[in-house]
Structure 1
Amino acid sequence: MTDSSSNSSAPPPDAHGTRWGDREQRRLDILRAGEDLIVSGGYDALRMRDVAAGAGISLGTVYTYYSTKESLFIAVFAQRLDRMLPDLERAVAAAPTAAAAFIVTADAYRDGYATFGRQFDALSLVTDASAVQSDVAEHLRAATARMVTSLAGTLTRFGYRGDVAKAMTLLWSTMTGLANHYSSERREFLPVEWSAAVGFTAETLAESLGLT
């Protein structure tokens, strides 16, 4: 005879299949609901009440995980970077030239920037302790550092012998500028296709840095 008494009083899973007390899955439900709103309408569409509705929980429960809208935004961004980085690291490692490595990184960066950077600078928030929870800010720092490390390693792999920190400042600023240009109305003033602009930039940077 099967004893089911231990399960008889447990609340059933909600509409997302999340069981009561499963905090990690509940956190993922909140992040999924938040990302859906950001992708569809940008930062302004991220309303905590709508996140609660999308996750199938109360508004108060959302705030027990993320105390501010800014913290939730950063958490969604960091999680998205975590999902992107394994594929990006493999693509960068397989790139035959430094220019090719820059191109795949710029392509990935642009995709995230269009959603998380065009209307709102996520990275500018991580130093504001009053707006963003410390653990969330640290998660974004770690994910960003991993991306920078991947690209910095590529510099040395292709023969760069100069100051890596200075070179990374140039590469990161260039990627941000390209992503900003092509995610806004500025692209109408210099109507060059993204692939052509990034390809030219990659070859120019590789040559100027003496990369093979």
Structure 2
Amino acid sequence: MVTKWGDRETRRRDIVAAGQRLLIESGYASLQMRDVAKGAGISPGTVYTYFPTKEALYATLYAERLEEFVEKIEPLCTDTHNPEDLFVAVATEYLEMYRVYGRELTIWAVLGGEVEMDDQAGAQLILAAARAYDTILHTVERLRLDEADDPAMVVTVLWSTITGLADHFTSVRQHLHPQNWDETVRFAARKLITGTGTPG
């Protein structure tokens, strides 16, 4: 179905959907505004009225995927009392997001001003990342056993571990070892839980 002229919000969704398809199928290098326009059924000039740069479009796509990530993990973070199962579920959901979004533009590049981006797209990405961080932080505060541990430090280690695992299993390095994702993420969860004194 062709979007009616003047339906700005639906037109934006068409652009976002076209961008998502390109990223999932071919990665960041394929996110060319001309191809996005073709996929959305509009002219390249129209795409730029919604997203001034490729980076702004990518940041929007990444922010929306982060929001989806949070929506999926929030119920688990609220209701699950088994830290190992929770770590595995969150890490596995993160892996799926990282396959498409995690390897190109990081939230830290945006915060550090390394990427030229309009304020709206940058703010959207930062807010989405903050929501993900807060969800994990509140879960750590809820589950922690050792009151001496700094929850923010625990989140830093957890997030770094999850990102490292995702990076490993989305690169050629995964073929260097016989262990698969399920074995590795369970092992990491057990070791982290033992180290933090959290009840399993």
Is TM > 0.5 for Structure 1 vs Structure 2?
yes
Q: CA 1:42 to 1:92, structure 2 compared with 1: closer, same or farther past 3 Å?
A: same
Say whether the 8 Å CA contact 1:48–1:69 is kept in structure 2: yes
User: How many angstroms apart in 2 are the aligned matches of 1:154 and 1:30?
Assistant: 35
User: How many angstroms apart in 1 are the aligned matches of 2:71 and 2:99?
Assistant: 20
Cα drift, residue 75 of structure 1: 0.7
* Correspondent of 1:173 among 125, 142, 160: 160
Say whether the 8 Å CA contact 1:92–1:104 is kept in structure 2: no
Using structure 1 for the length normalisation, give the TM-score.
0.86
Q: Aligned pair count?
A: 196
**Cα shift readout 1:87-112 (whole Å, capped 9, x = no counterpart):** 21112223221222211110111101
Using structure 2 for the length normalisation, give the TM-score.
0.91
Cα drift, residue 42 of structure 1: 0.0
Amino acid at match of 1:178: L
Cα drift, residue 124 of structure 1: 4.1
Question: Which residue of 2 is the match for residue 201 of structure 1?
Answer: 188
Say whether the 8 Å CA contact 2:22–2:31 is kept in structure 1: yes
Q: How does 1:5-154 map to 2 (within 5 A)?
A: 15-16=1-2, 18-118=3-103, 120-127=104-111, 128=113, 131-154=116-139
1 or 2, which has the higher helix percentage?
2
Gaps of 5+ in 2: none
User: How many angstroms apart in 2 are the aligned matches of 1:131 and 1:138?
Assistant: 13
User: How many angstroms apart in 1 are the aligned matches of 2:189 and 2:180?
Assistant: 14
Amino acid at match of 2:173: R
Say whether the 8 Å CA contact 2:110–2:122 is kept in structure 1: yes
User: How many angstroms apart in 2 are the aligned matches of 1:42 and 1:178?
Assistant: 20
Amino acid at match of 1:109: Y
- Radius of gyration: which is bigger? 1
SS in 2 for 1:20: coil
Amino acid at match of 2:22: L
Question: Which residue of 2 is the match for residue 188 of structure 1?
Answer: 175
CA RMSD across the alignment = 1.6
Question: Which residue of 2 is the match for residue 9 of structure 1?
Answer: none
Say whether the 8 Å CA contact 2:37–2:43 is kept in structure 1: yes
**Cα shift readout 1:3-43 (whole Å, capped 9, x = no counterpart):** xxxxxxxxxxxx43x22222211111110000000000000
Matched, 1:157 2:128: no
* The 10-residue stretch of structure 1 (35-44 or 151-160) with the greater mean CA deviation from structure 2: 151-160
Gaps of 5+ in 1: 1-14
Question: Which residue of 1 is the match for residue 197 of structure 2?
Answer: 210
**Cα shift readout 1:104-128 (whole Å, capped 9, x = no counterpart):** 110111101111123x133244133
Say whether the 8 Å CA contact 2:91–2:185 is kept in structure 1: yes
User: How many angstroms apart in 1 are the aligned matches of 2:105 and 2:78?
Assistant: 28
Question: Which residue of 2 is the match for residue 11 of structure 1?
Answer: none
Runs ≥4 residues deviating over 6 A = none
Cα drift, residue 129 of structure 1: 7.3
SS in 1 for 2:4: coil
